[in-house]
Amino acid sequence: MNLTDINNLLIVRLSSLGDVLLTTPLIRSIKKQYPYINLDFLVRKEYSDLLKLNPHLNKILIYENDKEKIKQLKNKICENDYDGIIDLQNNLRTLLLLKCYGSSVAGFSKRNVDKFLLVHFKVNRLKDSPPIPERYAQTIDGFKLDDEGLELISDRTANEKLQGSENYIGICPGAKHFTKRWLTEYYIELGKLLIENGYKVVLFGGKDDKEICNKIEAELPGSINLCNDNDILQTAADMKRCKVIYCNDSGLMHTASAVGVPVIAFFGSTVKEFGFFPYKCKNLVLENNSLSCRPCTHIGKSRCPKKHFKCMKEITPQFAFEKLKEMINH
* Mean pLDDT rounded to a whole number for the chain: 96
**Nearest residue to 190 via CA among 228, 132, 245, 135:** 245
Q: Which of these three, 122, 137, 152, is where a domain ends?
A: 137
Residues 132 and 206 reside in one and the same domain: no
- Residue 130: domain span: 8-137
Residues 172 and 317 reside in one and the same domain: yes
Residues 315 and 172 reside in one and the same domain: yes
SS3 59: strand
Residues 114 and 191 reside in one and the same domain: no
Q: How many CB atoms lie within 10 A of CB 5?
A: 7
Q: Is residue 105 part of a domain?
A: yes
Q: Each residue of 70-116: pLDDT tens digit?
A: 999 999 999 998 999 999 999 999 999 999 998 889 999 999 999 99
Residues 69 and 191 reside in one and the same domain: no
Q: Each residue of 251-288: pLDDT tens digit?
A: 999 999 999 999 999 999 999 999 999 999 999 999 99
CA distance 199 to 165: 11
What is the domain-level CATH number for residue 106?
Answer: 3.40.50.2000
Report the number of distinct structural domains present in the chain.
Answer: 2
Residues 76 and 193 reside in one and the same domain: no
**Nearest residue to 227 via CA among 194, 264, 252:** 252
Beta partners for 202?
A: 170, 224
Residues 62 and 127 reside in one and the same domain: yes
CA distance 239 to 257: 10
Residues 91 and 234 reside in one and the same domain: no
Contact partners, residue 246, CB within 8 Å, separation at least 6: 169, 170, 171, 172, 187, 190, 263, 264, 265, 266, 320
Q: Each residue of 12-68: pLDDT tens digit?
A: 999 999 999 999 999 999 999 999 999 999 999 999 999 999 999 999 999 999 999
Residue-level pLDDT at 165: 77
**Nearest residue to 204 via CA among 151, 271, 158:** 158
pLDDT confidence tier of residue 322, bands split at 50, 70 and 90: very high
Residues 172 and 289 reside in one and the same domain: yes
Helix (H) or strand (E) segment spanning residue 239: helix 232-239
Residues 110 and 182 reside in one and the same domain: no
Q: Which of these three, 137, 172, 187, is where a domain ends?
A: 137
Q: Is residue 149 part of a domain?
A: no
